Every structure is written in structure tokens, then in C-alpha cells.
Amino acid sequence: MKFTRITVDSKQMGGVPCIRGLRIPGATVVEMIADGQTEREILAAYPDLEQADINEALHFAADAVRERELPLTGR
């Protein structure tokens, strides 16, 4: 998937992937979803965001962890 709404600029936010050049890290959006916030709540908190930004942040996060080993604790 080609990401058009996720940008990386080494001079902005230390090179953290952000939404459309805004100072809103994609990880922040993903974390808000993980914390149970609705898209409506996220868009209200960040009026510069669009629904497509949220969708792409989730796809970007999924792609970032795809086929990688993650440290998991076993039982």
C-alpha cells in the first residue's frame, strides 16, 4: 500500500511519521483508537484531521508490524 497521508520529515517531530505534514503523529491517532476513542472524538480533538487520515494511520500501523517479531510474554 502506498501511503499518501503519512509523512516523515527529519526536521519535524524528530522524523516521527505524522499525518499530512501536521504535527500529529500517526501513533497518537492509533493509540487514541486503542484507548477506545471514537473517530468522532478524535476528529473533535484534532479538527485538522479527516476520517481518511485515521484510516491510513491504522493501515500504516498494521504495515509497520506485519511480519516482524514482537516481544510477547508467554504464560
> HEC profile for the chain?
CCCCCEECCCCCHHHCCEECCCCCEHHHHHHHHHCCCCHHHHHHHCCCCCHHHHHHHHHHHHHHHCCCCCCCCCC
Mean pLDDT across 12-25 = 96
75 within a domain of the structure (yes/no):
no
Confidence tier at 72 by pLDDT (50, 70, 90): confident
pLDDT at 71 (0 to 100): 75
Give the model's pLDDT for residue 62: 94
On average, the pLDDT of the chain sits at 93
Residue-range definition of the domain harbouring residue 49: 6-65
Q: The pTM is what?
A: 0.86
In a domain? residue 71: no
CATH of the domain at 30: 1.10.10.10
Predicted pLDDT at 75: 64
Residue 70 has pLDDT above 90, yes or no: no
